[in-house]
Each structure stands twice: as C-alpha cells, then as structure tokens.
Amino acid sequence: MPRFHFHIRREAAGTLDRDEVGMVLPDIEAAQTEALESAKELIIERIRADRRIDSFFEVTDSEGNVVFLMPFWQALRF
C-alpha cells in the first residue's frame, strides 16, 4: 500500500507545513477521505482560534509527486 503525505499549504502566509511522517493508505480515494475528514477537524480548530481557513492539503506520494490538492473549504457545505 502506498504512503501519502498530507502537506498543508497556507495561502496567505505562503508556507508549506510538511507532513514528513505520512500515512499508509490503500488508495487515492482513502487519501481523499482522510484529507476531507481532517480538514473538518482543522477548520473547527481554526474557527475556534480565530484563525484563517485559507489553507489546502497538498497530498504527495513518497517520491514527492503531487497526487491531489484539496482546499480546506471543500469540507464546508453552503
């Protein structure tokens, strides 16, 4: 099973928080679920702390190739 790394790019700050450890998951769908569920949790944390939610997940494989991007706001429903 592949290892995915869920880096967090903070748009306004222009920084990338690297997820060095990563996580072994069966496939990209599982990685998308992980990103979405974690985005829900991180949005809650940031709202409570009066922080911006403009970040997105930059998910890479173990070679560093970007597999997909997922903005945190994707976890929100309007």
Partner 1 sequence: MFDLSSGMAALTRMGKDVRIALGPVADEIDFCANRLLASLKEPERAFMRPFISRRTLAAGEILFEPGDDVTVTYFPCHGAMVSLRITCSDGKDVEAATIGREGAVGGIVSAGKKPAYARAIVQISGPAYSIPTTKIEDAKCRSPAVHDLFCRYADALLAQVMQSVACSALHAVEQRCARWLLATHDRVGQSTIPLTQEALADMLGVRRTTISAVAKSLHERGAIRYVRGRVDIINRKRLLQAACECYESVEAHFARILPEVDETT
Q: Which is nearer to partner 1, 65 or 75 (CB)?
A: 75
Question: In sequence order, what are the beta bridge partners of 56?
Answer: 9, 71
Q: Which is nearer to partner 1, 1 or 21 (CB)?
A: 21
Residue 56 in contact with residue 22, Cβ under 8 Å?
A: no
Q: Report the site for partner 1 in 8-27 (rule: CB under 8 A).
A: 8, 17-21, 23
Angle among Cα 23, 2, 10 to the nearest 5 degrees reads: 50
Q: Does 74 bind partner 1 (CB under 8 A)?
A: no
Contacts of 64 by beta carbon, 8 Å cutoff, 6+ apart = none
Contact residue for partner 1 among 28, 30, 38, 74 (CB under 8 A): 38
Q: Does 49 bind partner 1 (CB under 8 A)?
A: yes
